[in-house]
Amino acid sequence: DADNLNGSTAVRLSPNGQYAVATAFRSKTAVLYQRDATDGTLTRLDVVQNGIDGVEGLQWPIEAAFSPDSRFVHIMASGGPGRAHGTRAGCVTAFHISDKGKLDFIETNSGQDGCFSNARGIVVHPDEKTIVVTSSDAGTLVVMDRDDTTGRTTVRQVIRDEQGEVHTLSGAFSVALSPDAQFVYTSAGRFQGDNAIGVYKFDKTGKLALVQEIVNDEGELVNFVGGNEITVSPDGRNVYAVASLSESLACFARDLKTGKLRF
């Protein structure tokens, strides 16, 4: 499907297993599919494209995340409306999945002060009220409030590299949640910046606080250059991160109580 999937970067399945959504940056589209639970095949339901039928925020779509109830899709674009601080101003765009299997455009959130510039990682919290985004050019970890009825979002918190005790968000790329949804893990360095892993914990107000930073060549972690995707094992006992430039995979043991990592 070259017209709709030109430059495809991600395909994600809905939690209920009924849908899949794909993003494609060259065609500036998001494509919704129906998934057959018996044989796993996909049937295209809808295509939304930037600038068509009032849709915005798909200038450079590269990632997507379903809401836990599978009723909404949040598409992340690394480049969005306008430019901020001389770099691409990314955004997060919300769609509702209608009863007819259509992606209904809701809104585009461009954040504040360029906090989504070259956005690269997105995850929706199981509480349905929180989204977390990492952005490479901005060097940020952003926590968003999400209305679980309308799908609309606002910025709750922006953590920036080199502010306070945070020193590993330059080039922030991927983000992952622990299975208990109390901790957030970041990886940085794919295109620029720090080659490092960050660990954060949600407090009682729903904001994140730094727990730990692990930097390449500053301890046991070595040969980790170009930090790309990071993921937590389903049992929560391990964290894995790939580094594209060094062509390596880093493995960590995870403390279930503190969230801290041991190489």
**CA geometry: angle 60, 26, 43, nearest 5 deg:** 100
Per DSSP (E only), the strands in 58-102 are 61-66, 72-77, 83-84, 87-88, 91-97
pLDDT at 88: 65
pLDDT at 249: 98
pLDDT at 80: 60
* Partners of 227 in beta bridges: 189, 243
pLDDT at 13: 97
pLDDT at 84: 42
- Assess contact for 140 and 168: CB atoms under 8 A: no
- Assess contact for 136 and 173: CB atoms under 8 A: yes
- Assess contact for 68 and 126: CB atoms under 8 A: yes
The counts of H helices and E strands in the chain are 0, 22
Q: Quote the CA–CA distance of 238 and 142 in Å, as a whole number.
A: 24
Q: In a 3-state reduction of DSSP, which class is residue 28?
A: coil
DSSP-derived secondary structure letter, 189? B
pLDDT at 83: 47
| Encoded tokens for 179 | 């299975």
At position 202, the amino acid (one-letter code) is F
CA separation (Å) from 169 to 77, 187, 199, 206? 19, 8, 11, 20
| Encoded tokens for 91 | 């955004």
Burial of 39 (0-12, 13-18, 19+ CB in 10 A): exposed
Least Cα distance to 40 among 13, 63, 66 occurs for: 13
**CA geometry: angle 126, 132, 25, nearest 5 deg:** 110
Q: How many CA atoms lie within 13 A of 174 on its CB side?
A: 21
Q: pLDDT tens digits for the chain (263 residues)?
A: 999 999 999 999 999 999 999 999 999 999 999 999 999 999 999 999 999 999 999 999 999 999 999 999 999 999 865 444 445 689 999 999 999 999 999 999 999 999 999 999 999 999 999 999 999 999 999 999 999 999 999 999 999 999 999 999 999 999 999 999 999 999 999 999 999 999 999 999 999 999 999 999 999 999 999 999 999 999 999 999 999 999 999 999 999 999 999 99
H/E stretch holding 183 reads strand 183-188
CA separation (Å) from 101 to 44, 54, 64? 10, 18, 17
Backbone torsions φ then ψ of 218, nearest 5 degrees: -125, 45
CA separation (Å) from 5 to 11, 43, 103, 139, 186? 11, 14, 16, 29, 28
At position 108, the amino acid (one-letter code) is T
